[in-house]
């Protein structure tokens, strides 16, 4: 086996170049991927913000930002902080990633613009409105079934059940395997962390899942009328190659299931913990969409994504060397009191425009409209049919390298 | 300081002071203008900050950004040649006095 000159002369940390932080940057010896911390990150978020505009974490030799303004700035500064070198700890320029890089998530301008346009057209608010009936009918049926059960485990019974039913239909997948879809999301999102137990466990399913995912994205495994077909249509007009279309369909499956599962679970947790907010939502259904934005701000389903300094640059006046990995702790930014005033309070009428749960800038979540459409359907069905949502046991969080989701959420749905 | 006047669908005029670099959307959100939602926060992923640039300002406000046209197709109200996504209009000194008209609804 031969090694390239780059890797033979430099010891990498988690697949990226170790850095010497500029003097003056606070140093914090912590593991932001520790499972206990990930179960309840609020103290970590607060300390990260308190330490400064930017913090050096020696364990992984990375910088981290968590205050709102600087996090939003760095995360959306696609000129200086690249996505093409991976949005996790591995630097794709130095080591090959575990799968071929995404041609929308892990790519910079100008290449990004071409694929982004295809996806934002396929996932526009107008297209999503076309799925409103499918989403709502599915939600109505599901909620009726769950009401018959009374006490449910909401992660499996509702948060996973809904997206794994509607999303493959929206994409137009002929092959349906809810478990594979959820587990593939877990792989993609845990892969952006360090080589820890979470990542290794998620990756242990790769041999079985990756071939299934790749096969499910091919043109002959998609119907003629779904989002997948819309993407493949761009291969016909020459915007994309057929292989690129398949890669973008893969992006639907990477980013479209685990995230919405988390969004629904987190919403149910927020509303079961805050019965007065649930009642307020029942009184005023026009708050459904703002309520979901508040769930996103309050729980940050994607808590951390990274960027890589493409050249020598700066953060908050501190020099930053080329190849520096920067953790953008979106969860901390969404709880910054300097931005939100009373971030610890869950208020469905806050209308937190500018939260970074969907990111910001040119890489802002391209599927955000479909996420909103799914939540609107689920919350709409719930407020119509359910009088109260009561906790029926302890809610357990599932640590993840990028996603903060519930593992178990026992609740009782009390009908009207 | 850059003055922007928002004319609601019912004709109500609200004048706000913004800073260069703010967007017409972000200024409206910060000051609680009802007729702009800005659901996606300015990523050009929704069409809930739709506005009509007053004809006197059309030229100064400049052309639509790359991708804006696509997203305007999802606007809730009629799209005219003066339609813009207000998140894509960044305030400059040259826009001091800008007037934008708001549609009847955004969603």
**pLDDT, tens only, A339-379:** 999 999 999 999 999 999 999 999 999 999 999 999 999 99
Provide the pairing of β-strand B98-101 with B2-7: parallel
Tell whether B97 lies on the interface with A, counting CB pairs under 8 A: no
CA distance B100 to chain A (A): 20
Tell me which residue range forms the domain holding B97. 2-101
Q: Which tokens sit at A187?
A: 């792989």
B68 within some domain? yes
CA distance A11 to chain B (A): 38
CA distance A351 to chain B (A): 9
Tell me which residue range forms the domain holding A238. 5-415
Of B42, B47, B67, the CB nearest to A117: B67
Contacts of A116 in chain B (CB under 8 A): 67
Domain count, chain A: 1
Of A120, A125, A353, the CB nearest to B38: A353
Task: Give the CATH number, domain containing residue A86.
Answer: 1.10.630.10
B25 within some domain? yes
Q: Which tokens sit at A396?
A: 């357990």
Instruction: State the average pLDDT for chain A.
Output: 96
H/E stretch holding A383: helix A368-385
Domain count, chain B: 1
Q: Which tokens sit at B91?
A: 């305030």
Contacts of A372 in chain B (CB under 8 A): 39
CA distance B39 to chain A (A): 6
Amino acid A9: pLDDT? 59
- In A, minimum Cα distance to B76 occurs at A126
Verify whether the Cβ–Cβ distance A125 to B42 is below 8 Å. Answer: no
Contacts of B45 in chain A (CB under 8 A): 120, 358, 364-366, 368-369
List C-alpha distances in Å: B80 to B13, B50, B69, B103.
21, 11, 11, 11
pLDDT digits (tens, 9 = 90+) for A104-163: 999 999 999 999 999 999 999 999 999 999 999 999 999 999 999 999 999 999 999 999
| pLDDT grade for A286, boundaries at 50, 70 and 90 | very high
Task: Give the CATH number, domain containing residue B37.
Answer: 3.10.20.30
Verify whether the Cβ–Cβ distance A354 to B46 is below 8 Å. Answer: no
Q: Mark which residues 212-271 of A lie under 8 Å from B by CB.
A: none
pLDDT at B104 over 90: yes
pLDDT at A317 over 60: yes
Q: Which tokens sit at A56?
A: 């050096």
Helices (H), A155-274: 161-171, 178-190, 197-203, 206-216, 227-236, 242-255, 258-273
pLDDT at A4 over 50: no
What is the b/e burial string over B47-85, where b = at least 16 CB atoms within 10 angstroms of the residue's CB? bbbbbbbbeebeeebbebeebbebbbebbbeebeeebbb
Tell whether A376 lies on the interface with B, counting CB pairs under 8 A: no
Distance CA A109, CA A81 (A): 12
B41 within some domain? yes
pLDDT digits (tens, 9 = 90+) for A391-400: 999 999 999 9
Instruction: Yes or no: say if A228 and A217 are a contact pair by the CB < 8 Å rule.
Output: yes
Q: Which tokens sit at A242?
A: 């057929």
Verify whether the Cβ–Cβ distance A360 to B74 is below 8 Å. Answer: no
List C-alpha distances in Å: A94 to A10, A56, A112, A283, A401.
10, 21, 21, 55, 21
Amino acid A357: pLDDT? 98
- Placement of tokens 């890797």 in the chain: A7
């Amino acid at each position: 086996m031969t090694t390239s000159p780059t890797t033979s002369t430099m010891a990498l940390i988690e697949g990226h170049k170790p850095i010497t932080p500029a003097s003056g940057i606070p140093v914090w010896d912590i593991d932001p991927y520790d499972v206990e911390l990930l179960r309840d990150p609020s103290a970590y978020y607060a300390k990260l913000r308190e330490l400064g505009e930017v913090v050096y974490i020696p364990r992984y030799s990375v910088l981290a930002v968590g205050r709102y303004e600087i996090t939003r700035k760095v995360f959306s500064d696609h000129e200086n902080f690249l996505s093409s070198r991976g949005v996790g700890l591995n630097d794709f320029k130095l080591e090959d990633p575990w799968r071929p890089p995404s041609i929308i998530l892990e790519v910079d301008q100008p290449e990004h613009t071409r694929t982004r346009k295809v996806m934002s057209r396929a996932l526009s608010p107008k297209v999503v409105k076309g799925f409103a009936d499918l989403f709502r009918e599915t939600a109505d049926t599901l909620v009726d079934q769950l009401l018959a059960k009374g006490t449910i485990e909401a992660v499996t019974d509702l948060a996973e059940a809904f997206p794994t039913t509607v999303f493959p239909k929206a994409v137009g997948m002929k092959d349906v395997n809810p478990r594979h879809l959820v587990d593939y999301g877990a792989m993609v999102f845990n892969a952006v962390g360090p080589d820890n137990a979470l990542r290794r466990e998620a990756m242990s399913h790769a041999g079985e899942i990756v071939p299934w995912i790749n096969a499910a994205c091919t043109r002959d495994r998609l119907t003629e009328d779904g989002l997948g077909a819309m993407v493949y249509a761009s291969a016909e007009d020459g915007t994309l190659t057929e292989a690129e279309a398949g890669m973008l369909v893969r992006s639907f499956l990477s980013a479209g299931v685990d995230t919405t599962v988390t969004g629904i679970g987190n919403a149910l947790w927020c509303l079961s913990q805050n019965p007065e907010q649930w009642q307020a939502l029942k009184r005023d259904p026009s708050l459904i969409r703002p309520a979901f934005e508040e769930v996103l701000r309050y729980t940050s389903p994607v808590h951390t994504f990274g960027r890589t300094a493409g050249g020598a640059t700066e953060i908050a006046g501190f020099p930053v060397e080329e190849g520096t990995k920067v953790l953008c702790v979106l969860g901390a930014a969404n709880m910054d009191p300097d931005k939100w005033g009373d971030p610890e309070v869950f208020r469905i009428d806050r209308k937190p425009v500018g939260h970074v749960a969907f990111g910001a800038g040119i890489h802002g979540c391209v599927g955000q409209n479909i996420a909103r459409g799914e939540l609107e359907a689920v919350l709409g069905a719930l407020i119509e049919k359910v009088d109260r949502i009561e906790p029926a046991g302890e809610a357990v969080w599932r640590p993840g390298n990028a996603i903060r989701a519930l593992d178990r959420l026992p609740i009782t749905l009390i009908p009207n | 300081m850059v003055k922007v006047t928002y004319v609601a669908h019912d004709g109500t005029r609200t004048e706000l002071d913004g800073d260069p670099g703010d967007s017409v959307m972000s200024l409206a959100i910060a000051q609680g203008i009802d007729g702009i939602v800005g659901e996606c926060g300015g990523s050009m992923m929704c069409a809930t900050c739709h506005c009509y640039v007053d004809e006197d300002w059309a030229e100064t406000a400049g052309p639509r950004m790359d991708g804006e046209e696509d997203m305007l197709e999802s606007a809730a109200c009629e799209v005219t040649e003066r339609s813009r996504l207000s998140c894509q209009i960044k305030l400059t000194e040259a826009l001091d006095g800008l007037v934008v008209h708001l549609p009847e609804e955004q969603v």
